[in-house]
Every structure is written in C-alpha cells, then in structure tokens.
Structure 1
Amino acid sequence: MYNGRTDLVEHVSHFNQRMVVHSKNETLMCMVFLSSMGPVAMRWFDDLRAGSISSFKELTRAFGSLFIMCSRVPRPLDSLLSMTMREGKTLKMYSDRYWKMFNKIDGDFDNVAIRTFKVGLLAEHGLRKLLTGKPIDNVRQLIDHIDKYKRVEEDQQLDKGKVKVVF
C-alpha cells in the first residue's frame, strides 16, 4: 500500500514486478494499481479530471510527479564512516543503526561495509577482536558473526535480570 511517505519509485517498481504477466493489459494495470494506493494517494486519484489519464504509463508519471518528494535519496558511502557503537549501547542497537544506513547506500560495497562496521565497534568488543584476528570475506559472514554475538549479549542481559532464589 502506498501511504504517501515511502519511496514511490520503489512502489511502482514492485508493482510492475508483481504484474509483469499482465503488463500488456493497460486497463487491468490501472485498476489494480489503484488498489495499491493508500488513503492519501487515493484522494489524489479521486481528484483527477475524468479522461485525463489514457495509459498506465501516464498514470504512473502523474503519480510520480505528485509524490516525487517521497523518493529515496541515496546516502553517500562515507555515511558509514560516521557510524560507531556508543558506550553503554548494545551490539543490537549499533547493528540495527548500521544496517539501516547501509541499506540507504546504492552500490556494492561489501568490503567497505565489513571494514567500517568493525572500526565502528568499541575497541574492547569481542566481535571487533574476532574480526581483527580472523578477517572475513563477505557481508553474509559478518551478519552471521553479529547474530552470534547478539545472542550472547541477549543471554547476558537475561542473566543479569534473573533473581537467585535460595531455599
């Protein structure tokens, strides 16, 4: 559902991928596209002048011109350089912030992602020590290591919260 705040180019692209087998049927494409609009976009559509749209391409072009301010602007690669784990914060918090920023960067920068994630960890963090001692080759391996350390972190948090009962 397009809500007026998300990336419209991404929305149209996903819609086109789902409808690829029906792409030659303009009427169907337009009608089904309307069902993917949330209330804001539907109000825009309801205000269109009758007969002002004659093709799916025109519909998506008009849609795009109105909601263009919602398009995602890629972040520069150096945005990752400013990402650091803050003292007293968990690996999960750092990891969530890091990957959110990483996903806003266009391109294939796995090697940079691995290095900047490692450098952003606290110097004494066990994961940083592991990544320094045993370098990895791809982001999938990095994510696997992060997940293991997050589970250990969560277990430690649970252990801190437990109350010992002595009989």
Structure 2
Amino acid sequence: MYNGRTDPVEHVSHFNQRMAVHSKNEALMCKVFPSSLGPMAMRWFNGLGASFIDSFKELTQTFRSRFITCSRVHWPLDSLLSMSMKEGETLKTYSDRYSEMFNEIDGDFNDIAIRTFKVGLPTEHGLRKSLIGKPVTSVHHLVDRIDKNKRVEEDQ
C-alpha cells in the first residue's frame, strides 16, 4: 500500500512484479493500480479525471511525477569512502552503519567496499590486522569475518 512517503519508483516496480502475469492487459493494470494506494495517494488518483490517462505507462509516469519528492536518493560513493569507526563504537555498530550506507549506493563497488571498511577501522583493531594479514576477496567473506569478530567482541 503506497502511503505517500516512500519511493514511488519502487512502488510501481513492486506493483509490476505482483501483476506480471497481467502486464499485457493495460485496462486491468489501470483498474487494479488504485487498490495499491493508501488514502493520500488515492485522493490524488481520484482527482485525475477519467480522460486524463490513456495508458498504464502514462498513469505510472504521472504517479511518479506527483510523488517525486519521496524518491529515494542514492548516496554517492564518497559517503562510503569517508566512513570510519568512531572512538568507543563497537564493531557491530560500525559494521551496521557501514552496511546500511553500502546498500544505499548504486553500482558494483565490492572491492572498494572491502578496502574502505578495513581503512575505517582503527589501526590497532584486531579485525583490521586480520584483514591485512589475510585479505578477503568478496563482501560475503568480509561479512563472515565481521560476524566472527563481533561474536569475539561480544564475548569479552
């Protein structure tokens, strides 16, 4: 249900996924789309007028245009490059913050993600030393290594 506060592009994408079997039936897509809208978006839809929209594509373009200010803004790569572990911050908190930022960046920057995470750790941190001594080759391996170190940190 679209509440008027989330990304309209993502909403249309999810709607298209749910309706994939019927995607060739423009009339049905247009008739079902309002059922995915919450009260605020429904008021917008009801104000459109019957002759304004000629296709499902036009409906979704108009929808995205109306709710464009809610579009999710992807962070630039530099925001990842400037992250570092704060004094007194746990590995869990730092890795959670880092993962959240990494997921907001568009593109395939796995090698940069591994290096910037390592550089963001304090020089004396055990995980940093471990990553220098035995480098990881994928973000998946980095996450595994972080998880192991978080468990050690929690046990102390």
Q: 1:4 to 1:111 in 2, by over 3 A?
A: same
SS at match of 1:116: helix
Q: Which residue of 1 aligns with 2:43?
A: 43
1:139 equivalent to 2:139? Answer: yes
Distance 1:139 1:42 in 2: 41
Q: Residue 144 of structure 1: CA displacement?
A: 0.9
Q: Residue 63 of structure 1: CA displacement?
A: 0.3
Map residues 101-140 of structure 1 onto 2, 5 A cutoff.
Answer: 101-140=101-140
Q: Residue 30 of structure 1: CA displacement?
A: 2.1
SS at match of 1:75: coil
SS at match of 2:61: helix
Given the two structures, how large is their TM-score scaled by the length of structure 2?
0.90
Distance 2:55 2:111 in 1: 44
Q: 1:38 to 1:152 in 2, by over 3 A?
A: farther
Structure 2 gaps, min length 5: none
Distance 2:117 2:25 in 1: 47
Deviations 1:30-50 (A, max 9, x none): 233222222221221122223
- Alpha-carbon RMSD across the aligned residues, in angstroms, is 1.6
Distance 1:104 1:73 in 2: 8
Q: Which residue of 1 aligns with 2:24?
A: 24
Q: Which residue of 1 aligns with 2:88?
A: 88
**Radius of gyration: which is bigger?**
1
Distance 1:45 1:88 in 2: 50
Which of 63-72 and 28-37 deviates more?
A: 28-37
Which of 143-152 and 108-117 deviates more?
A: 143-152
Q: Which residue of 2 aligns with 1:78?
A: 78
Query: What amino acid sits opposite 1:112 in the alignment?
Result: I
Q: Which residue of 2 aligns with 1:97?
A: 97
Query: What amino acid sits opposite 1:58 in the alignment?
Result: E
Distance 1:54 1:143 in 2: 48
Given the two structures, how large is their TM-score scaled by the length of structure 1?
0.85
Runs of 4+ that moved beyond 3 A: none
Q: Residue 106 of structure 1: CA displacement?
A: 1.1
